Amino acid sequence: MSIRKISGGVCAPKGFKAAGMHCGVRRNKDKKDIAMIFADVECSAAAVYTTNKVFGAPIAVTRENLANGKARAVICNSGNANTSNADGVEKARAMSDLTAKALGIDSGDVIVASTGVIGQSLDLEPISRGISELPKLLSKNGGTDAALAIMTTDTKVKEVAFEFDLGGKTAKIGAISKGSGMIHPNMATMLSFITTDAAITAEMLSKALKEVVGETYNMISVDGDTSTNDMVSVMASGLAENALIDSENGDYAAFKEALSAVGQYMAPMIAGDGEGATKLLICNTRGAKDILTAKTVARSVISSALVKAAMFGADANCGRVLCAMGYSGADYDPDKVSVLFKSSAGEILVCENGCGLAFDEDLAKKILLEKEITIEINMYQGGASATAWGCDLTYDYVKINGDYRT
């Protein structure tokens, strides 16, 4: 299937507009802090959430609102996570109600999200002011402003859109994301809002989203912390006018492939923009006996603080990788493993048959000084493979998080 990258982000699919602005949640007036996405029609909708037992009030409200598989709008603020607050659910519901009133829709059709500091009461006054202004700013060109408004410690705007063939029609899918710290498998301080004009039922949309998240967003780790507010949501307007996808047929497979393209694009972008990061790390595992083993090993390696630190220091220490594999809980034969580091500067085999090899240290350092490094692991026990994404662990990560709240 042909999937083509296009411009427009969340506004690329038919029927969607977006906007972002500064309303006053954040003290820095130069930073946008509230975003809105609005659909012209009622959409099929689905979401996947953090697995943290402590989760944000917006997630509780969004779960309620999406119980019927329908939505028309997203409202998201940055600067305050609205988590671990006695009045959190009340204020998240108020955000839903205010958005519904401003857009003339039902309050149950709103996806609510927040990101930022945990445990501080959310002031509704600036939120209310922003929600009243955002409908006037909604446009087909507003995707980037919305992407900017959901950022916290991110250094790069994260948005993408693709078009693809679906049952003889041209469909589009777009997304904006944020994520920089508190990023660990099973989501992170990560938000991703996806839109599509494909016609698909909520049931099939939910199934596709869960499968794709498991292969992409849940294969990211920056710092080992699973956040409280993570969410990936998707709204489908149906305006591409393809035959409704209501079963796992060929059109479902085509849609899932396009949705996966979004995840495959966003995952390394989020990982590479980790707090204080200087390098994107990619861990490819192959030769595993099953997909669970491949995923478990890849996630363990990419999550290891010692692997991350070694990559920051350009130290080709295969022991860090082997150690992380060993405590992963995966079932494999450590005596069959090989490890190879590679980048645009070349590649170098550092472990074979579970044992470290002598290698050219100068070449290894040259390879690991690049901005994108791949760790290739082969277990030689089967045909399953997986990919996980992460970043190096730097001095700046500690600096950023040492005074995050203040």
pLDDT above 80 (res 255):
yes
Beta bridge partners of 190: 179
Q: What is the CATH number of the domain that holds 151?
A: 3.60.70.12
Sign of the torsion angle spanned by Cα atoms 103, 109, 115, 119: positive
| Boundary-marking domain end, from 270, 301, 336 | 270
CATH value at residue 391: 3.10.20.340
| Whole-structure pTM value | 0.89
Residues 247 and 368 occupy one common structural domain: no
**Are 317 and 355 in the same domain?**
yes
Same domain, 284 and 199: no
Q: Are residues 67 and 169 in the same domain?
A: yes
Domain final position from 236, 270, 304: 270
The answer to whether residues 61 and 26 touch, using CB atoms and an 8 Å cutoff, is no
The answer to whether residues 354 and 261 belong to one domain is: no
Tell me the pLDDT tens digit for each residue of 75-116: 999 999 998 899 999 999 999 999 999 999 999 999 999 998
Assigned domain for 275 exists: no
Domain that holds residue 334: 280-402
Specify if 143 maps to a domain: yes
User: pLDDT at position 220, please?
Assistant: 86
State residue 221's pLDDT score: 77
Give pLDDT, residue 72: 98
pLDDT of residue 62: 97
* pLDDT over threshold 60, residue 184: no
Q: What gap in Å lies between CA 13 and CA 161, rounded to an integer?
A: 8
* Cα 385–Cα 329–Cα 179 angle in degrees, nearest 5: 65
Question: Do 134 and 105 sit in the same domain of this protein?
Answer: yes
Asked if residue 405 has pLDDT above 60, the reply is no
Q: Are residues 264 and 297 in the same domain?
A: no
In a domain, 377, yes or no: yes
pLDDT reading at 382 higher than 80: yes
With a cut of 70, say whether residue 242 has pLDDT above it: yes
- 31 found inside a domain: yes
183 vs 117, higher pLDDT: 117
Looking at the fold, whether 107 and 210 belong to one and the same domain comes out as yes
Q: From the centroid of its chain, how far is CA 202?
A: 21
Are residues 290 and 249 part of one domain? no
**Residue 59 pLDDT > 90:** yes
Both tokens assigned to 382:
């089967």
Compute the average pLDDT of residues 31-53.
Answer: 94
Q: Which residues, in sequence order, are bridge partners of residue 47? A: 233
- Calculate the alpha carbon distances from 335 to 356, 377, 383 in Å: 11, 13, 18
- Inter-axis angle of helices 318-326 and 305-312, nearest 10: 170
Whole-angstrom distance, CA of residue 140 vs CA of residue 172: 14
Residues 2-17, mean pLDDT to the nearest whole number? 97
> Does position 400 have pLDDT exceeding 70, yes or no?
no
Spatial separation of the C-alpha atoms in residues 400 and 393, rounded to whole Å: 12
Check residue 229 and give its pLDDT. 77
- Please report which confidence band the pLDDT of residue 401 belongs to, taking 50, 70 and 90 as the band edges: low
pLDDT digits (tens, 9 = 90+) for 354-363: 999 999 999 9
Q: Give pLDDT tens digits for 342-376.
A: 999 999 999 999 999 999 999 999 999 999 999 99
Cα 266 to Cα 153, 248, 255, 259: the distances in Å are 16, 25, 17, 11
Q: Are residues 195 and 344 in the same domain?
A: no
Q: Is 135 part of any domain?
A: yes
**CB-count burial class (<10 Å; 0-12, 13-18, 19+) for 71:** buried
Work out the percent of the chain whose per-residue pLDDT is above 90: 80
Q: Look at residue 71 and tell me if it is in a domain.
A: yes
% of the chain beyond a pLDDT of 70: 93
The answer to whether 189 is a known catalytic residue is yes
One domain for residues 221 and 365: no
Does residue 237 sit in the same domain as residue 311?
Answer: no
d(CA 86, CA 265): 37
The pair of three-digit structure tokens given for residue 321, joined into one six-digit string: 């990788």
pLDDT at 222 exceeding the cut of 70: no
Query: Could you tell me which residue, 230 or 144, shows the higher pLDDT?
Result: 144
Pick the catalytic residue: 62, 83, 115, 189?
189
User: Rounded to whole angstroms, how far apart are CA atoms 389 and 321?
Assistant: 14
> What is the tally of structural domains in the chain?
2
pLDDT of residue 226: 61
- pLDDT value at residue 403: 66
Choice between 239 and 392, residue whose per-residue pLDDT is larger: 239
Q: Of 247, 270, 293, which marks where a domain is finished?
A: 270
Name the residue among 179, 174, 172 with its Cα closest to residue 159.
Answer: 174
Q: What is the pLDDT of residue 404?
A: 55
- Contacts of 2 by beta carbon, 8 Å cutoff, 6+ apart: 164, 165
Per-residue pLDDT band at 117 (split at 50, 70, 90): confident
Question: What is the residue-averaged pLDDT of the chain?
Answer: 92
User: Is 9 among the domain residues?
Assistant: yes
Report if residue 311 sits inside a domain.
yes
183 — pLDDT class (breaks 50, 70, 90): very low
Mean pLDDT over residues 199-216, rounded? 96
